[in-house]
Chain A
Amino acid sequence: MNQGEPLVEVRDLSVAYRAGDSDIEVVREVSLRVAAGETLALVGESGSGKSTIATALLGHLRHGSRRTAGSVRVAGQDVFGLAPLALRALRRGTVAMVAQNAGAALTPSMRIGRQVDEALRTVTHTRDTRVRRRRIVELLDHVRLPEPRRLVDRYPHELSGGQQQRVAIAMAIAAQPRVLVLDEPTTGLDVITQRGILDLLAALADELDLATVLVSHDFGVVAAMADRVHVLRAGRTVETAPAARLFADPAQPYTRELLASVPRLSDEPRPSVPAAAPVVTCEHVRAGYGGRPVVDDVSLELRRGEVLALVGESGSGKSTLAAALAGLRTPSGGVLRYLGEPGGDLAVPAGKRPLDLRRRVALVFQNADTALNPRRSVRDAVRRPLTLFGIGPRAERAARTTQLLRDVALDPALQERLPAQLSGGQRQRVGIARALAGEPDVIIADEITTALDVSVQAQVLDLLDELRRERRLACLFISHDLAVVRGIADRILVLYQGKVVEQGSTRAVFAGPNHPYTRALISAALEPDPGAGAAAESAPRWEHDDRDDEWIDTGAGHLIRRWREERR
């Protein structure tokens, strides 16, 4: 095969699955090609068919789907025309896949070493167990896993998400494939871990001269990894172009829309809101028991009309703090007060708060699928707070419900529908309408855009911003995505393992100087711009410096917790 001839060639591929009496087309006449050493990204929102195409490269279609037209050729072989023996050989040695959710992709009952060993069998034919073991350890080391010798004997559940993903990568490259398929390789991973995995994948692709097919909905990941980009929508190709050109000057309006919705760190930071009266105060709040509390001595102030972002990775305590404010968890120490009219103690569970206080704090959830009762119509969901809190006279409630739906830019005709009949974005809006029904002063938005497609995410954020300005709401916005935060927050609070490590206005925090943890988060965040991809600066290993004055004040309310280089 000469240089430049495509290792992967898909021609007019169409895939459909049967639902009831009709066929639903998942992929429609998609054609693409990938050469050795090249990385092609398949980009699209949910339902675009990108995952189906990816698995088709291994000759695999989900149960119930079938190929209705077109062909897939890998290394010159027609993947769907192969006999089972040849197909297995293809999967062992030529094509390999790293699935989306590594935790679910590893067999829970089998040790890591054995699972990797199975993948190695094609290349290592020796029966000597020591030689095989050494190969496995080498491989694990190659994917930058710590202590590979010990890891070999562990079970998948004993590894963290990032480690599981590395093991999956090790299994994939074990037989030295020529084509590597990556299905959303970093979804669900923390920002810093994600950066590490992507760096590893780039290095491996170079070293093994792989043809890589990367499936992603995240433009940051695509910008960091891809040479060429293939945009999909509802199973059809929208546009194919080299990455640099696509990001700089997209040809299709859909692509332009998608790119425009992606929040970027390079965007203009928002003008800060003038300081207003605080409406919620937290002083030295502690939550959780035992050696290390989940929320450890956190103090903050939430002011009327502002958006305060709580940023941190999993385990930082941000969700627990929000739960305490909402009355779902009782803090084990500290003061939580609502300072508006009427004042009240927020450190008690919601059931024990007076009715008037309860409606002041409203929650909006991350996953719109589970945030609404599947058996209740939209109208019921929005109306419930009205009835419960006794807002307005009964006769007016129907009108209020309709108005609330209009406020969140939803057609009131959707009232009678059940959540399953709405799109993800619409469901999220209903969740916001329900939160507003009680006429709250404080809205707690817990990762509300994480599960949404990029274009929908932008709309929801705009809506939230508008509502906040109109109603002078105080909004506690929880997120791990710095780019999103930068676009919507007035002030930022960064949490690490339960403690606040930095707080200040958005502009000040992004301008620096920063706490090393914040710096690590910012540099690990991926920009949807191929030119911006510098390797993550290796952050200094730091630890807390426990002195009397804990904070370094860089001015205008920007505080950084004291830290020092970690002593060895």
Chain B
Amino acid sequence: MIVFVLKRLGSAVLTVALSSLLVFFAVQALPGDVAVQVLGRDATPEAVAALREQLHLNQPAWTRYLSWIGSALHGDLGTSLVSGNAVAANLGLHLRNTLLIAVVTVVVAITSSLVLGVVAGLHRDRWPDTVISWLSLVGMSVPEFVVATLLVLIFSVTVPILPAVVLDGPNASVAELLPAIWLPAAALGVVMAAYIVRMARTSVIDVMASEFVTTATLKGLTRWRVVTRHALPSALLPTLNVIALNVAWLVGGVVVVESVFNYPGLGKLMLESVYDRDLPMLQAIALVSAAIYVVCNLAADLAAMALDPKLRTGRRTATR
């Protein structure tokens, strides 16, 4: 078991390292000179050269990569080209704000979608299944910005209970942001839930048709016991991957939703950085996103280990 955990950890670290390489060199490959971009096209060649020297841009790419990674491990993600401030601090603030939304979304969406998916799977082809399946189909067919727009229409305009737009900056406290997280969370949650419902439903249907569930039923156990003790642990396994992917997707999905609500989170920061061509910030955001993705997958793997005894114990111990 320890071996499994260590292998997964090692794998996660390796993936983050590869991602960092990918991100760094992709950004380096983008055309356009950073110094020219900062100083503007009319800058003198001497000024450009001086800035390049200051930003260590003349060093070979590998050296710059290593120094970037080295500082990143110490919490220093560079300096913003736009504001001149440390990237890490700003990033951290925006990340915190996004996490507020993320936590609510994850908790509510995952629990409700798992329940709905299991219900749909157990009542296959009957009316609860049909209703839930169609709802989830619509949920995943509609882009987040549509859901967000519609939610604004209903909850901010028609029945004004929640704010349509956030006016606070990134430094706002948690309490101030609290009323503003519900609509974005709902918009994201609807889309996420749709995928998880479908996966859970499929998984439950497959497991309920399996041999061991039939055996448990033929042992004379109550349906409740068969479903909760025998079917669900195996049915939940495949959903873990989907859940992990969806949680990781949040990092990207949040871009559109935060734009609609003007919420000061990671997504908005991403958009601003893209507009401003703030490369160090972009690099940092990409790295953090990659790390989040890897952590989610790792969590899914560890949860799988908790649910699947085969991963805990490994090889067979007996021969005959």
Residues of A within 8 A of B (CB): 55, 58, 60, 63, 87-93, 96-97, 99, 101, 104-111, 118-119, 122, 146, 154-155, 157-160, 162-163, 168, 171, 193
Q: Is B318 an interface residue (CB 8 A)?
A: yes
Question: B residues touching A (Cβ–Cβ < 8 Å)?
Answer: 209-222, 225, 229-230, 233-234, 307-310, 313, 316-320
CA distance A171 to B220 in the complex (A): 12
Closest chain-A Cβ to B269's Cβ sits at a distance in Å of: 42
- Taking a contact as CB atoms under 8 Å apart, the answer to whether B320 and A160 are in contact is yes
Whole-angstrom CA separation of A110 from B229 in the bound complex: 8
Q: What 8 pairs across the A-B complex have the smallest Cβ distances? A: A92-B220, A91-B220, A104-B211, A109-B233, A155-B309, A105-B215, A88-B220, A107-B212
Question: Is chain B's interface secondary structure helix, strand, loop, or mixed overall?
Answer: helix
Supply 21 A–B pairs (Cβ within 8 Å), ascending by A: A88-B220, A89-B220, A92-B219, A96-B218, A97-B218, A106-B212, A107-B216, A111-B309, A118-B216, A146-B318, A154-B317, A155-B313, A157-B309, A158-B313, A158-B316, A158-B317, A158-B318, A160-B316, A160-B319, A171-B215, A171-B219
Is there an interface contact between B221 and A88, defined as CB atoms closer than 8 Å? yes
Nearest CB of B to A396, in Å: 50
B151 to chain A, nearest CB (A): 39
The answer on a CB contact under 8 Å between A107 and B230 is yes
Contact present for A108 and B212 (CB under 8 Å): yes
CA distance A60 to B217 in the complex (A): 9
The docked-state distance in angstroms from the alpha carbon of A157 to that of B309 is: 8
Residues of A within 8 A of B209 (CB): 63
Which among B219, B225, B233, B234 is the interface contact of A91 at CB below 8 angstroms?
Answer: B219
A60 and B222 form a contact (CB under 8 A): no
Given contacts A60-B214, A89-B220, contact A108 B320 (CB under 8 A): no
Known: A63-B209, A104-B210. A118 touches B317 (CB 8 A): no
In the complex, what distance in Å separates the CA atom of A63 from the CA atom of B318? 35
Asked if B318 contacts A159 (CB within 8 A), the reply is yes
How far apart are B10's CB and chain A's nearest CB, in angstroms? 23
Whether A109 touches B308, Cβ cut-off 8 Å, given contacts A99-B211, A118-B219, is yes
Contact at B234–A155, with CB atoms within 8 Å?
no
B219 touches A160 (CB 8 A): no
B318 and A160: CB pair below 8 A? yes
Q: How far is the CA of A526 from the CA of B213 in the complex (A)?
A: 32
Chain B: minimal CB distance from A75 (Å)? 14
Asked if B233 and A159 sit within 8 Å, CB to CB, the answer is no
Give the CA-CA distance A159 to B317 in the complex, in Å: 7
Query: For residue B319, which residues in chain A have a CB less than 8 angstroms away from its CB?
Result: 160
Asked if B218 and A91 sit within 8 Å, CB to CB, the answer is yes
Find out whether the CB atom of A159 lies under 8 angstroms from the CB atom of B316. yes
Q: Quick one: closest A residue to B208, CB to CB?
A: A63
Query: When the two chains form the complex, which single residue of A88, A109, A168 contacts B222, counting CB atoms closer than 8 Å?
Result: A88
Q: A108-B212, A108-B309 are in contact. List 16 more A-B contacts (CB 8 A).
A: A58-B218, A60-B214, A90-B220, A93-B220, A96-B218, A96-B219, A97-B215, A105-B214, A106-B212, A107-B230, A109-B230, A110-B230, A118-B219, A119-B219, A154-B317, A160-B316
A537 to chain B, nearest CB (A): 18
Chain A min CB distance to B203 (Å): 13
Q: Tell me the bound Cα distance from A88 to B220 in angstroms.
A: 4
Q: Which residues of A contact B212 (CB under 8 A)?
A: 104-108
Per the bound structure, the CA–CA distance linking A105 and B216 in Å amounts to: 8
**Cross-chain contact A193 with B320 (CB below 8 angstroms):** yes
